[in-house]
Chain A
Amino acid sequence: MNEIHQSESRHAPTDAAGAALLAMTGIGKSFGRHRVLDDVDFDLRAGEVHVLAGENGAGKSTLIRILGGVHQPDGGSIRIAGRLVRPRSPREAAGFGVAIIHQELSLAPAMAVTDNIFLGRERTSGGWVRFGEQRAAAGRLLKRLGLEVDPGRLVGELPIAAQQMIEIAKALAFDARIIVMDEPTSALSEPEVERLFARIADLTTRGCGIIYITHKLEEVYRQADRITVLRDGRKIITAPAAELPAPALIRHMVGRELVEHPVRREPVAGEVRFRVEHCTVRAASRGRPPVVDDVSFEVKRGEILGIGGLQGSGASDLLWGLFGAHGRRATGRVKLDGRPVALRSPRRAIRRGVALLTNDRKQSGLVLSMDVAANATLASMPRISPGTWLSRRRELELTAASTKTLHLRAASLRQPVATLSGGNQQKVVLAKWLNTRPRVMLLDEPTRGVDVGAKREIYQLMDEWARAGHAIVLITSELPELLLMSDRIMVMHRGRLTAMFDHDEATPERVLHAAMGGS
């Protein structure tokens, strides 16, 4: 380890400190009619760590993408070291000294460390790459970062923490002064996190400015010199970390008024329908901590259990595990109406009456090349094809019945789902699961990417299903939705269950606090 150790609050008083590195003023951005950023100001000084905070969808990533040249702003200006710039591509942004280290690292795993560091900006003479020089320079950089790795090794062979350091080395290789780190610790173990923090301290003393995005309260206060809060695409506040204690920070993040729609009527919870004991889901790659760590809960008939959590909470993996979609990675005991369910395969789970609506309908929900009817019946083929012969009449009847209760708006049941709107596509996925006659519905972000009207309809449907005796587990990253729809709320942070609230005791502040790992 290093000589640098954490003190309660960091100070980086160097000669370079205080000079304005970056000033973004009046930044606006819309996608279609959706206003994602509205008149946002953001600045970064040399030698500081500036935490960018906000809920999912607050506009953090869009702001960073504008800085990184991925998106062009509709309005506003960007000054880097006083010079007006307009990065039109990631390459240009890199030229201005901006380096972005994403959660999913953007290295080429099959290439050597050196080649990755100089990728796209190779040191050449007359078109020939000067490999020797690159190798030496890479070696110096890695040494400076305290990473003892042969620069000739393939990046894919290295652990995630080392890969992250290589991303930083890549940033330093072209003298980046503005370094953005998006959830850099999400895949790191404790000692690796400490090492990363030591490097960050190093970078700031050298005069770099760090924009740090995190969903972990502890990190916010260990790292931040200043904090900026975004909410619904607007800047709410920028303040020194010392002047913005955790309760105030969370208040600013939540902020908005909760418009209480009278959607969820008085719950009528019955006996326990779905009981989960000690569910653990291993990470996909070896040596990583489990993505779900020993979670137990139960859902009653007619109850909606909400799961709150920020990115990396493991909530989605929990549902995949319970549905059998993670195969042998998931362990634990699950009982449905008192009878054990094996976490073996989605096929078995469906047969037992478990349904999972995933959070990405294009990736894992719909078969976009097929029509409405084929999608709506895909998970319940035995109902429309007794024996193996497909009854197209039954297929249409079943689809018509299920889509009617969902108020699907489609020109025809033979219409390709790719041509439907987001809300109607979601209804097709819901129809697919309704047709399996589920007893437990695991709904992961059921209202993602649907318009306001469809959203309300989906809320009403969830209420009806609960009333009909289904047990519902709901994941949503929208706090208002979580508070509105859930009879109980369970909060997860880094794979662990951190809090359980009844509907009445849940407040946005308490949920968010627990979701950020506060106790």
Chain B
Amino acid sequence: MAGKPDEPALSTKPATLSELRRLAAHPATTALFALLLVLLLGFIFSGDGAFYKWTTHRDALRQASVFGILACGMTLVIITAGIDLSVGSVLALVAVCFSLFSIHWRLTPWLAIPACLAIGTACGAVSGGIIAKLRIQPFIMTLAMMVFARGLAKTVSGGMKVSTAVANDDGTYRYVDVPQIFRMIDSRLLGDNISVVSLIFLVCVAVSWILLARLRWGRYLYAIGGNEEAARLSGVPVSAMKVLAYGAAGLFSAVAGLCQAAQEQQGDPEAGTAYELTAIAIVVIGGTNLMGGRGGIGLTLLGTLTIGYLEKILSINAVPEAGRLMLTGIIIVAAVLLQRRRA
């Protein structure tokens, strides 16, 4: 509306102090601040110069990618004022299925990958449908799906890791090759400079961003999270949008499951335990509001980098896992407090 002289009520003035203050209060500013703080930590405790090596950054991004992919789906769901606790289990289910299809059944990736994505999407869509139509609280419904999908993963795998050790009919084992598609997903591109998994994560970020910021559906998701009643009375298809959000979370969990299987070269039915909590932590550190209606995928990208770097910096400084966990907990509280002060 800038440059329309016939609208005196809607003027666009140059940046004033109050606008700067608004910028400072923007959640992205806070999230960026948190990330820079963590990076500063890296410059101070550089692990004997390891922090200055590009490979460290490359690996930090790679290690954070699976969590980041999960966090993309989690962001969509949290924006509708929901939560999805099943992402870790769905990841395991898909990892198991992907390994089974690719290693044991020797299916072509052209079949295996779509099938796996469909399985993950179905899990999410079922949760979303039940939440919308039968009005079960998202926490409860996805808790149920979390347990169910884990059970399904164990059923499919027979309770064991699905690996390149394949059982013969007589009970002995033979080892088969790691499928080509696994090696491909676990490789690096651009002269070894970026992991394929990281690229997949960035694609997921882009897809989520388009959905949230450039499609009608994204607007509907924000409206549902901000005021579901007002959204319904404005003609927003609330049930369909909930199926969309949880279905998308399931789809992203499946993508993460593919990556996880490729990286581990096996399908572990116990994989992804407590990953949902990391994903939620990433979303929250980014600044997306758990009450719904506010936030965005850019924030989740920043949150992913913050958590990823924190992990990496602690590990290059050889901080034991016990200390890492405690520090992560403290950082989560600090980040949220920081946001509340600004809000």
Inter-subunit contact B223/A364 (CB<8 Å): no
- B9–A407 touching, CB < 8 Å: yes
Q: Which residue of B lies closest to A415 (CB)?
A: B10
Query: Distance (Å) between the CB of A408 and the closest chain B CB?
Result: 7
User: Is A365 in the interface zone, CB < 8 Å from B?
Assistant: yes
Does B53 have its Cβ within 8 Å of any Cβ on chain A? no
Q: Which residues of A contact B235 (CB under 8 A)?
A: 346-347, 349-351, 379, 436
In chain A, positions 81-126 with a C-beta closer than 8 Å to chain B are none
**A378 touching B7 by the CB < 8 A rule?**
no
Asked if A346 meets B233 with Cβ closer than 8 Å, knowing A378-B223, A413-B1, the reply is yes
B9 engages A400 (CB within 8 Å): no
The reply to whether B10 and A385 form a contact with Cβ atoms under 8 Å apart is no
Does B222 make an interface contact (CB < 8 A)?
A: yes
What's the nearest-Cβ distance from chain B to residue A274, in Å?
A: 18
Contacts of A381 in B (CB 8 A): 216, 219-220
| Contact between chains at A389 and B227 (CB < 8 Å) | no
Q: Does A325 contact B (CB under 8 A)?
A: yes
Instruction: Report if B218 contacts A (CB, 8 A).
Output: yes
How far is B223's CA from A432's CA once the two chains are assembled, in angstroms? 13
Q: Which single residue of chain A is at the shortest CB-CB distance from B225?
A: A369
Is the Cβ of B237 less than 8 Å from the Cβ of A365?
no
0/1 string, B1-21, CB within 8 A of A gives 1: 100100101111000000000
Contacts of A363 in B (CB 8 A): 227, 229-230
A370, B214: Cβ atoms closer than 8 Å? no
Q: Number of contacting residues on B, CB 8 A?
A: 32
CA of A396 to CA of B7, assembled, Å = 13
Quick one: given A367-B293, A390-B218, are A412 and B226 in contact (CB under 8 Å)? Answer: no
Interface check B294, CB cutoff 8 A:
yes
Kindly supply a per-residue 1/0 record for chain A positions 409-431, scoring 1 wherever the CB is within 8 Å of any chain B CB and 0 otherwise. Answer: 11111000000000000000000
B residues 242-278 near A (Cβ < 8 Å) are none
Please report the C-alpha to C-alpha distance between residue A370 and residue B236 in the assembled complex, in whole angstroms: 15
**Chain A residues within an 8 Å CB radius of B230:** 363-367, 378
Complex contacts, A400 vs chain B, CB 8 Å? 1, 4, 7, 10
Q: How far is the CB of B167 from chain A (nearest CB, A)?
A: 48
CA distance A381 to B219 in the complex (A): 9
As a 0/1 sequence over residues 318 to 340 of chain B, the CB contacts with chain A under 8 angstroms (1 = contact) are: 00000000000000000000000
Distance between Cα atoms of A367 and B289 in the complex (Å): 15
B residues less than 8 Å from A432 (CB atoms): 234
Contacts of B11 in A (CB 8 A): 411
Contacts of B293 in A (CB 8 A): 367, 369-370
- Interchain CB contact under 8 A, B216 and A369: no
Expressed in whole angstroms, the minimum distance between the Cβ of A364 and any Cβ of chain B is: 5
Task: Check A378–B219 contact: CB distance below 8 A.
Answer: yes
- In the assembled complex, the Cα of A385 lies from the Cα of B218 at a distance in Å of 12
Contact status of A358 and B233, CB under 8 A, knowing A367-B227, A370-B293, A381-B219: yes
Kindly state whether residue A356 has any CB partner on chain B within 8 Å: yes
Set of chain A residues within 8 Å of B217, measured between Cβ atoms: 388
B84 to chain A, nearest CB (A): 20
Q: How many A residues touch the partner, as a band?
A: 35 or more
Give the docked Cα–Cα distance between A351 and B215 (Å). 20
- For B232, list chain A residues within 8 Å (CB): 325, 346
- Identify which of residues 439-469 in chain A touch chain B, using a CB-to-CB cut-off of 8 Å: none
Contact B226 A364 (CB under 8 A): no
Question: Is A369's CB under 8 angstroms from B215's CB?
Answer: no
Known A367-B223, A412-B12; judge A346-B234 contact (CB<8 A): yes
Question: Given A370-B222, A385-B216, A388-B215, A408–B9 Cβ distance below 8 Å?
Answer: yes
Known: A367-B293, A378-B219. A409 touches B236 (CB 8 A): no
Q: A390-B214, A412-B12 are in contact. Are A364 and B1 (CB under 8 A)?
A: no
- Asked if B194 is at the interface (CB within 8 A of a chain A CB), the reply is no
CA A478 to CA B84, docked complex, whole Å: 47
Indicate if A484 sits at the interface (CB-CB under 8 A).
no
Q: Across the A-B interface, give the 5 residue pairs with the lowest CB-CB distance, nearest first.
A: A369-B293, A367-B226, A369-B226, A379-B234, A385-B216
Complex CA distance for A79 and B313, rounded to whole angstroms: 69
List, in ascending order, chain A residues with CB within 8 A of B213's CB.
Answer: 390
Chain B residue with the shortest CB-CB distance to A399: B1
Q: Please tell me if the beta carbons of B233 and A364 are within 8 angstroms of each other in the complex.
A: yes
Could you tell me if B222 and A367 are in contact, using CB atoms closer than 8 angstroms? yes
**Complex Cα gap A381–B4 (Å):** 24
Highest count of chain B CB atoms <10 Å: which of A351, A366, A378: A378
Is A404 an interface position by the 8 A CB rule? yes
Does A368 count as interface, using CB distance less than 8 angstroms? yes
